[in-house]
Chain A
Amino acid sequence: MSESLISARGLTKKFGDFTAVDGIDFDVAKGESFGLLGPNGAGKSTTMRIIAATSRRTSGTISILGRDPEEHGPQVRAHLGVVPQQDNLDTELTVTENLYIYGRYFGLSKKFVNKKVEELLAFAQLEEKKDVKVEALSGGMKRRLTIARALVSEPDILMLDEPTTGLDPQARHILWDRLFRLKEDGVTLIITTHFMDEAEQLCDRLVVMDKGKIMAEGSPAELIKKYATREVLEVRFGSDRNKEVAPILREMCERIEELPDRILLYVEDGELLLEAIAAKKLHPNTSLVRRSSLEDVFLRLTGRSLIE
């Protein structure tokens, strides 16, 4: 592993009696796309804020480019581009003005910022909207603008907190495409998400968080390999019969998860299992064979779904 940009050891954050982040360790390497996956309230956003030097940890150590954010907050923040969970664009200003003034907050010269703004408008595909006030933008455009704004200082690390929450599928894909480009350009990305598809798409490596703790760590493929089988067979027998057939199915697969509305069966070959079930004259109302995903990893690790 190359030299790490961020390194946390025993990182803990308490709010009164509540422990939001509970002694976590992680490293992020240069150029890596690092994900924090977990449900709402897992401690992802708090971790992000500690990295961004806008929250003080309770204990543990963290270093960002060799610096402690508590002692060098402004210096650490100068390296970062922050995309918060809720857009906090300047609603009194236009698209261009938003980008421009953000650069000025970093102390960058007018000449530099003006040039950078043109570049970012193109990147965010907002050239046609450049003189529009941000209130008039769609949700997807606002997100792209927030990301562009975070890039105005040419940060080493881009921090994205739930970047596509609340966006429609098309807007999500446009956004992912932009983030891929940044990755290609060597920007280090730190992403929190509770969408498994997003984590699989964007992250080279991720940690699964729950209740302030890190449950597992690895690349999406590694995690799936380690904590799930290659395929999943989802069957529904109707809420009454699910309970009845579960014990029989349990014998036929590597692992079984009974959810309120369906049963998940973990195996290497889903079709084969489905045939075997049919051979036993157990006919499910519906069935679906799919690849295992991070959702399954999470279910395995915590016994709960990501989205509740």
Chain B
Amino acid sequence: MRSAVEIADARADKPGHQIYAGRARAIIERASIALRSSTWVPIATGFIEPVLYLLAFGYGMGALIGDISTSAGAVDYTVFIAPGLLATSAMNGAIYDSTWNVFFKLNESKLYQGMLATPLGPLDVALGEIIWALFRGLSYSIAFMLITAPLGLVPSWSALLAIPAAVLIAFGFASFGMAITSYFKTYQQMGLINIVLLPMFLFSGSLYPISVYPDWLEFTIKLLPTWHGIELIRDIWFGVIDFSSFSHLSYFLVMIVLGLFFTTRRLRDLFMR
């Protein structure tokens, strides 16, 4: 039986031992215990939102819009928005978990303060919280698939790959969300997050192709992570994998690395002043 001191001493020479104790799993374990005793309602209702959008826009707008031409040919409007909504829900879920939930733990319950008084480092906390958020994102993505497949909106088996892609996208957003949240001190400030995110979602082509925009706007939107996320899922959904798909993928890989770096630094600055 090793003592706390022996465990910590064993890592004393490892690079980065100050910020990472190699125990993100302890944070995940905590989240899974909290899940057991928490109410299932907010979690269970999480996947409903994209389905509602799908129903409303699919049925309601479909009649007004008709077919949309894509790289995979003309498709029914409902089929067109399905992958966009999957991407959107993955991003939204990750953002919710990494902003509002984190805000509460930072400011109200001081949970991270308690964690960082142990040998855990900021990277343990960041990784653990983010990975947990991804479990949730994963389950939402699977639920979305289970609902859309019987409706005939999933064109092929390979579209299943959209699930891991959605998790990757969620990772990118969650890794940044936590760092950004650490700057906010009041609920009213948190309201600003929504007002920044809303246009990113509305303009990024989840509901219609961005080719309708003037060139300068189209170019701006192509810089946003929301557009890359939607396009990546859409490429996979319709089985049109090409160079641009890989550029979307790399965009998120870079975003994850930068986000983790940023979040770790913020946590260290906040709690190790």
A residues adjacent to B (C-beta < 8 A): 52-56, 72-75, 77-80, 82, 84, 86, 88-94, 97, 100-102, 104-109, 111-112, 133, 153-156
User: B12 touching A104 by the CB < 8 A rule?
Assistant: no
B13 to chain A, nearest CB (A): 11
B106 to chain A, nearest CB (A): 11
How many residues on B have C-beta within 8 angstroms of the other chain's C-beta atoms?
36
Task: Find chain B residues with CB under 8 A from A92 CB.
Answer: 34, 37-38, 109
Task: Find chain B residues with CB under 8 A from A78 CB.
Answer: 4-5, 7-9, 118-119
In the complex, A55→B11 CA distance in Å? 21
In the complex, A89→B118 CA distance in Å? 13
In the complex, A228→B118 CA distance in Å? 41
User: A55 touching B272 by the CB < 8 A rule?
Assistant: yes
Task: Find chain A residues with CB under 8 A from B1 CB.
Answer: 109, 111-112
| Least CB separation from A149: chain B residue | B114
Q: List 9 A-B contacts (CB under 8 A).
A: A56-B272, A72-B12, A77-B119, A84-B110, A88-B109, A107-B119, A112-B1, A153-B4, A154-B3
In the complex, A91→B38 CA distance in Å? 11
Q: Is the interface of A mostly helix, strand, loop or mixed?
A: loop
User: B121 touching A74 by the CB < 8 A rule?
Assistant: yes
User: B5 touching A93 by the CB < 8 A rule?
Assistant: no
Task: Find chain B residues with CB under 8 A from A156 CB.
Answer: 5
User: A102 touching B118 by the CB < 8 A rule?
Assistant: yes
Which of A75, A90, A111 lies in contact with B109, CB distance below 8 A?
A90
A109 to chain B, nearest CB (A): 7
User: A54 touching B109 by the CB < 8 A rule?
Assistant: no
| Least CB separation from B271: chain A residue | A54
Q: Report B241-273 residues with CB < 8 Å from chain A CB.
A: 271-273
In the complex, A82→B4 CA distance in Å? 14
User: A86 touching B110 by the CB < 8 A rule?
Assistant: yes
Given A90-B34, A101-B26, A107-B26, 9 additional A-B pairs, CB 8 A: A54-B273, A73-B272, A74-B18, A75-B119, A79-B4, A80-B117, A90-B109, A107-B8, A153-B3
Which of B18, B118, B271, B272 lies in contact with A106, CB distance below 8 A?
B118
| Least CB separation from B273: chain A residue | A55
In the complex, A264→B38 CA distance in Å? 57
Given contacts A54-B117, A77-B118, contact A90 B111 (CB under 8 A): yes
Task: Find chain B residues with CB under 8 A from A106 CB.
Answer: 4, 7-8, 118-119
